[in-house]
Amino acid sequence: MSAVIEFDNVSKRFLLQHERHTTIRERLFGVFRPRTPRDEFWALRNVSFTVARGESFGLIGHNGAGKSTALKLMTRILEPTSGQVRLRGRVAALLELGSGFHPELSGRDNVFLYGSLMGLSRREMAARLDAIVAFAGMEDFLDLPVKHYSSGMYTRLAFAVATAVDPDILITDEVLAVGDEAFQRKCMDRILRFRHAGKTIIFVSHALDTVRTLCDRAVWLDRGVVRAIGASGEVIDAYLADVNQREHASSAQMDAPGIDPTRRFGSGEVEIIGVELLDAQGGGGAIARTGAPVTFRIRYRAHQTVPQPVFGLAIHHESGTLLAGPNTLFAGLDIPAVRGEGRVDMHVAALPLLAGRYLLSAAVYDKTMLFPYDHHDRIYHFAVHNEGGSERFGACVLGSRWSWHEE
């Protein structure tokens, strides 16, 4: 196994020159103030890893963890403050927006410029131009200076060019985040073809499912230091467990931050005074687990005797899709009348929701379900975690069983 990329105890320090504010008094009286000392910031500290030829390698971590900095060290846009970065092979890199192309030049000129930087002749590039333009889908904009491109157009052209020059190593930083759905698929298809062709791929993304699928190995950077390195699935699970733990620590309650009046309506004879999510142990919180038992509890207060109320819940995916809208009437629970305070529980034996964020509505209506006493529209938030769960695409588990038959 030969290493094509090697980070050997690499650290990168940035010097930050803060803006110095001059007060009016200073300006009027010419008061002298010493220059602010330069602050230093270590974006990477003692980072070591190697990437073998033909490997797909992911970098994950929070915003500001140092992922883009690591890529810039690989491509020699930056030099390490200490340590060594070694790289073998021809690299095509798709870094953050804005690096790579010359803003005043047209798309066409940039294609040729990029080719020449990669050691391809004008003839060789001309032969690839049609395919590049077709892939990027930008026939009409080729002669426009790229500074007028939208971020999507810019990324499309950059991706098309970088992957057309036949590099040994492809480095991409969040490229898939910019394009539309169709282009993302085209890019992924091309990246996968690179992978099959035995090229080395360095992939930075916050789309952890994609990293898991695409990358053999990954490194998790946390504020500039390596927290974990190894098989991508294991590194991602360790990262998610850490994210989940922090989320747990910061959310003990299902929050309904000062109920927005536009999201609440009803005549008020019965009022919903709280909604809770309880796990099997009766513990509260705003986090549930895929496949685990959970109870949704609606607390109410009836200001008078109200016959035959119907209590209901609605669960929306954060994307806005309504996933479920169960209620006591559909479930056949007869509540003859309510007065004073009480609670209505909905038990779910095995939560079929996958990891993600969800919005919850709670409501109480009259028996015809036409007149709301109190309706809280998507006021409550909760998250679902799925540590170690086998399913991960989409929003719900079908509880299905697969079988295979050869004929």
Ligand X SMILES: Nc1ncnc2c1ncn2[C@@H]1O[C@H](COP(=O)(O)OP(=O)(O)OP(=O)(O)O)[C@@H](O)[C@H]1O
CB of 342 to ligand X, least distance (A): 47
Give the up-direction half-sphere exposure of residue 184: CA atoms within 13 A in the CB hemisphere.
11
CB neighbour list of residue 192: distance below 8 Å, 6 or more residues apart? 214
Residue 400 interface partner, choices ligand X, Mg ion, none, CB cut-off 5-8 Å depending on type: none
**368 vs 319: CA distance, rounded Å:** 30
CB of 69 to ligand X, least distance (A): 3
CB neighbour list of residue 24: distance below 8 Å, 6 or more residues apart? none
For the chain, the straight-line distance linking the first and the last C-alpha, in angstroms and rounded, comes to 42
Looking at the DSSP bridge assignments, the partners of residue 236 are: none
Across the chain, which distance is largest between two alpha carbons, in Å? Answer: 94
Measured from the CB atom, is 166 or 222 closer to ligand X? 222
**44 vs 64: CA distance, rounded Å:** 10
- Based on the shown chain and the rule CB under 6 A, indicate whether residue 307 belongs to the binding site for ligand X: no
CB neighbour list of residue 213: distance below 8 Å, 6 or more residues apart? none
Q: In this chain, which of 68, 75, 200, 205 binds ligand X, going by CB under 6 A?
A: 68
Q: In this chain, which of 5, 59, 61, 68 binds Mg ion, going by CB under 5 A?
A: 68
- Based on the shown chain and the rule CB under 5 A, indicate whether residue 69 belongs to the binding site for Mg ion: no
Helix (H, G, I), strand (E, B) or coil at 292: coil
- Based on the shown chain and the rule CB under 6 A, indicate whether residue 155 belongs to the binding site for ligand X: no
Measured from the CB atom, is 211 or 351 closer to Mg ion? 211
CB of 57 to ligand X, least distance (A): 15
Q: In this chain, which of 69, 110, 200, 232 binds ligand X, going by CB under 6 A?
A: 69
CB neighbour list of residue 244: distance below 8 Å, 6 or more residues apart? 287, 385, 387
- Based on the shown chain and the rule CB under 6 A, indicate whether residue 327 belongs to the binding site for ligand X: no
Measured from the CB atom, is 68 or 172 closer to Mg ion? 68
**100 vs 350: CA distance, rounded Å:** 50
By CB under 6 A, the residues from 41 to 60 that bind ligand X are 41, 43
Measured from the CB atom, is 7 or 358 closer to Mg ion? 7
What's the token pair of residue 215?
A: 């990358």
Measured from the CB atom, is 14 or 371 closer to ligand X? 14
CB of 30 to ligand X, least distance (A): 32
CB of 315 to ligand X, least distance (A): 30
- Based on the shown chain and the rule CB under 6 A, indicate whether residue 16 belongs to the binding site for ligand X: yes
**376 vs 259: CA distance, rounded Å:** 8
Measured from the CB atom, is 154 or 380 closer to ligand X? 154
Nearest to Mg ion by Cβ — which residue? 68
**Crossing angle, helix 107-117 and helix 151-164, to 10 degrees?**
40
CB of 43 to ligand X, least distance (A): 3
Measured from the CB atom, is 55 or 174 closer to Mg ion? 174
- Based on the shown chain and the rule CB under 6 A, indicate whether residue 18 belongs to the binding site for ligand X: no
Q: In this chain, which of 9, 36, 64, 117 binds ligand X, going by CB under 6 A?
A: 64
Q: In this chain, which of 9, 14, 280, 342 binds ligand X, going by CB under 6 A?
A: 14
Give the up-direction half-sphere exposure of residue 144: CA atoms within 13 A in the CB hemisphere.
12
Q: Is the dihedral of CA 58, 62, 65, 69 positive or negative?
A: positive
- Based on the shown chain and the rule CB under 6 A, indicate whether residue 63 belongs to the binding site for ligand X: yes
Residue 64 interface partner, choices ligand X, Mg ion, none, CB cut-off 5-8 Å depending on type: ligand X
Torsion, Cα of 179, 182, 185, 187 (10° steps): -50
**Crossing angle, helix 181-196 and helix 151-164, to 10 degrees?**
20
Interface with Mg ion (CB under 5 A): 68
Interface with ligand X (CB under 6 A): 14, 16, 41, 43, 61, 63-69
